[in-house]
Amino acid sequence: MLKKVLIANRGEIAVRIIRACKELNIKTVAVYSDIDKDSLHTKLADEAVCIGKGPASQSYLNVKNILEAANITGADSIHPGFGFLSENAKFAKMCEECNIKFIGPNFSVIEKMGDKVNSKELMKKADIPVIPGMDLKDKDIKEIKEIANKIGYPVILKASNGGGGKGIRVVKQTKDLVEAINIVKKEAKQAFNNDDIYIEKYIENPRHIEVQVLADEFGNIIHLGERDCTIQRKNQKILEESPSIVLDDGLREKISKCAIKAVKASNYTNAGTVEFLVDKSKNFYFMEMNTRIQVEHPVTEMLTGVDIVKEQIRIASGEKLSYKQSKINFTGHVIEVRVNAENPSKNFMPSPGTITGLNLPGGNGVRIDSGIYSGYTISPYYDSMLAKIIVHGRDREEAIAKLKQALEELVIEGVDTNIDFLLKLITNDDFKRGSYDTSFVEEKLV
Ligand code: ADP
Ligand code: ADP
Ligand code: MG
């Protein structure tokens, strides 16, 4: 078993990983930027090393300082969490070269599957349905126009290296194409330091359905069912749940089989998520693979009882999966919401500041993953997610009722939050009925 894990992340996910390590009797090293000196993850780890200043480029993305911190503290492994360096194949390779186990897939697999363009090519070859699209690298405007016409409007432009819903634009007609290309390229350069873009057919009124997979280094693969992440704003997830009410058992089996096929075709190991879009006629298409732990992994953990982070560590330690597919049971219904420091009435503008009062809900079937405490100051440098509330009910109705209760008990003072917005969302009739698609929040709620 690995002996000492350095967590190359911050906030609630760093805390989540530290907890799993402690349960497994593994020593932990936190890294932090100077303004995160008083963060929960810094306090909870056995050791903590400052790796630079506030801006992520100088700290949480500072590969040299992170590797040095691992070296100084004698960490034998690095867990990258999500965001930051988690899908960075170069970083994973450097870890390997430094004899540090990267807790995730091999760098060559990240290269293949972490990239929206490469992964689609591979999936097509494996006979998995893929949204029609094309890489636009080195294409001029005239060629792009022809490609868009061939695909047929509406089309969607995406940053090839994108994530977190950034660098995405829908284009309804030719006359808007050039402007959209410029915007996406600019956003992609800013957010991902790479302005390669990709074009694909825009699937209208879809549901976002993803499948959680686990694979060890001995060829054993299992799936842990789906998560429905259709509730989004600006292509960013807000609420995730399982099971999805749009899947019947037949479709569920087909999608999970495709996810397993994707894992096999890419020689994938460790935890990963295969994302699909399901259209109105229940056709489904591979969209991308996230080669890392995801924000919404607790949904699956509560539904199945499997601790995904502990499985990641076991797999990275060279152990076999501790579950067989036939032993995975799905019980009840789970919903997660992301509580953010933001102001919904000011276009969801981030609201950094100091938390002056805090009451976290609890009770039967309520899980809170957070990195905050009363007196903690939220910095403007990082994303605005404060906590995730995850509830487990015997069915969807009970889960919604529990979530409503939890959100009503939750008090966060000192900063603006989206708590009232989340309450409005989960008490909406269309939401309760389950009749919505990815445009629901923007069209019906804001
Ligand atoms: P998930 O797919 O786990 O729901 P998100 O897509 O919401 O996760 O992203 C999780 C976090 O990681 C967010 O803070 C997001 O901004 C960030 N993120 C995701 N992908 C990337 C990426 N390629 N580069 C930088 N940050 C990313
Ligand atoms: P990211 O890497 O930012 O997570 P994704 O490719 O997973 O980017 O897309 C994020 C979201 O954007 C999806 O969940 C979906 O709501 C929307 N989206 C992406 N591609 C399409 C498409 N071809 N048609 C319709 N919606 C799409
Ligand atoms: Mg995605």
pLDDT per position as a tens digit, 8-59: 999 999 999 999 999 999 999 999 999 999 999 999 999 999 999 999 999 9
Q: Which ligand is nearest to the CA of 232?
A: 2
Active-site residue among 292, 314, 394, 433? 292
- Which tokens hold the place of 155? 């089309």
Q: What is the mean pLDDT of residues 246-264?
A: 98
User: Encoding tokens for residue 157?
Assistant: 């432009």
Q: Which atom of ligand 2 is nearest to the CA of 204?
A: 25
**Residue written as tokens 């363009």?**
117
pLDDT tens digits, one per residue of 377-423: 999 999 999 999 999 999 999 999 999 999 999 999 999 999 999 99
Ligand 2 closest atom vs CA 285: 23
Q: For ligand 1, atom 21, name the residue with the nearest CA.
A: 163
Predicted pLDDT of residue 192: 86
Tokens 């990963």 locate to 272
pLDDT above 90: residue 101: yes
E strand or H helix at 353: strand 353-354
Residue 191 clears pLDDT 90, i.e. is over it: no
Report the pLDDT value the prediction gives residue 116, as an integer from 0 to 100. 86
Q: What is the average per-residue pLDDT within 137-148?
A: 95
Query: Which pLDDT band holds residue 358 (cuts at 50, 70, 90)?
Result: very high
Q: Does ligand 2 lie within 6 Å of residue 117's CB atom?
A: no
CB 87, CB 78: distance < 8 Å: no
Q: Is 207 an annotated catalytic residue?
A: no
- Whether ligand 1 lies within 6 angstroms of the CB of 243 is answered as no
* Token reading at 400: 């919604």
Task: Evaluate whether 424 touches 415 at the Cβ level (below 8 Å).
Answer: no
The band of 162, judged by pLDDT with boundaries at 50, 70 and 90, is: confident
163 lines ligand 1 (CB under 6 A): yes
Any atom of ligand 2 within 6 Å of the Cβ of 206: yes
Q: Give the distance (Å) from ligand 3 centre to CA of residue 290.
A: 7
Section 139-153 average pLDDT: 96
b/e per residue 310-326 (b: at least 16 CB within 10 A): bbbbbbbbeeebebeee
Separation of 130 CA from ligand 3 center, angstroms?
Answer: 14
What are the structure tokens assigned to 106, written together?
């091999």
The predicted pLDDT at position 432 comes to 98
Q: How far apart are CA 329 and CA 315, in angstroms?
A: 21
Given a cut of 90, is residue 204 above it in pLDDT? yes
Pocket test for ligand 1, best of 110, 194, 273, 295 (most atoms within 8 A of CB): 295
**Centre of ligand 1 from the C-alpha of residue 164, in Å:** 4
Q: Could you report the per-residue pLDDT of 277-297, keeping only the tens digit for each?
A: 999 999 999 999 999 999 999
pLDDT at position 367 is: 98
The atom number, within ligand 1, closest to the CA of 229 reads: 4
The residue type of 33 is S
Ligand 2 binding pocket mutation candidate from 116, 135, 277 (most atoms within 8 A of CB)? 277
Residue 37's pLDDT is 98
Report the residue count for the chain. Answer: 446
Sign of CA dihedral 343, 344, 346, 347: positive
CA 328 – CA 152 distance, rounded (Å): 42
Section 235-249 average pLDDT: 98
- Going across the sheet that includes 236-242, the strands are 284-290, 270-278, 207-215, 221-233, 236-242, 333-340, 385-393, 366-370
Contact 233, 68 (CB under 8 A): no
Q: What is the pTM of this model?
A: 0.97
- Asked if residue 87 has its Cβ within 6 Å of ligand 1, the reply is yes
Q: What is the pLDDT of residue 375?
A: 98
Q: Read off the DSSP letter of residue 444.
A: I
- For ligand 1, what atom is nearest to the CA of residue 273? 2
Q: How far apart are CA 443 and CA 446, in angstroms?
A: 7
Averaged pLDDT of the chain: 97
Ligand 2 atom nearest to CA at 287: 6
* 200 Cβ below 6 A of ligand 2: yes
Domains of the chain: 4-87+98-103 (3.40.50.20), 132-201 (3.30.1490.20), 207-445 (3.30.470.20)
In this predicted structure, what is the pLDDT of residue 32?
98
Ligand 1 site, residue 164, Cβ cutoff 6 A: yes
pLDDT of 155 reads 98
